[in-house]
Amino acid sequence: MKILNLADIIRLKQVEHVKNEKNILMEIRHPFIVNLFWCHRDDTSIYMLFEYVCGGELFSYLRNSGRFSSQTANFYACEIITAIDYLHQKNIVYRDLKPENLLLDKEGHLKITDFGFAKKLTDRTWTLCGTPEYLAPEIIQSKGHNKAVDWWALATNSSKVANDGDSSNFDDYPEVDFRTARALEDSELKLFEDF
C-alpha cells in the first residue's frame, strides 16, 4: 500500500502528478506493470493498494551483481518493451524508466512501478521531469518531448544493465521526512475532491 500525505503533496506541488498517476493506473492493466487495485482518500492521506510484488527492485540485483548477462538483460528489455509499447498505445508516456522503478515478481518477471511522472500525451509536453542520468536530450534542452523519451531511457537502462553496471550514484538519494504532517485547510482538501 502506498500512503501519501495530502499536505506533503500540496507542499511539494505534486497535486497534478498524483492525480495523473491515479487516473493512469486506474486505466491500465498489464502483466509487466504493477496494477492498482483500490484507491481512497480521507482528510489527511491518499491510499493506493497495489498488487503484491515480492521480488524487490531490479536495482538491488544490479547493484549486487554489477551487471547482468546479455541473456538476462535481453529478457528484461523485452518485458520493458512490451509494457512501454502497451502504454504508448494508450497515449501514455512513462518518463521515469530506471532500475529503481522495476520490481521483480515471484517468478522473476518485471513490473514497472511509480507512475508519478506518467502523463497522457497526444503530441508533446515540456515538463522537465525524470531522473537526470536517464533523461533524453530533448527533455534537458526543453525542446518539447513525446513518447520517444521512454525509448531513450530504455536504451540507457539496457546499457547500464548489460555493460557497465555503474552504481556510483545508487546511494545519493536523500531521505524523505514523513513526519511533517499538518492539518489541511478546506481549500486544500478541495484540490482532491474528485479523487
CA distance 107 to 93: 27
Backbone angles phi, psi at 180, to 5 degrees: -95, 25
The set of cell numbers assigned to 100 is 529503481
Rama region for 144: left / alpha / beta (φ>0; ψ in -120 to 50; rest): left
Distances (CA, A) of 21 to 14, 59, 102, 117, 149: 10, 22, 16, 7, 18
User: Which single residue is written with the C-alpha cell 503484491?
Assistant: 52
Q: Which residues are CB-neighbours of 162 under 8 A, at least 6 positions away?
A: 67, 68, 70, 73
Least Cα distance to 62 among 41, 80, 47, 76 occurs for 76
Contact between 94 and 80 (Cβ < 8 Å): no
Q: Please identify which of the residues 8, 43, 96, 171 carries the catalytic annotation.
A: 96
Q: Which residues of 56-73 are buried (b: 16+ CB within 10 A; e: fewer)?
A: ebbbebbeeeebbeeeeb
96 in catalytic set:
yes
Query: Which active-site residues does the annotation give?
Result: 96
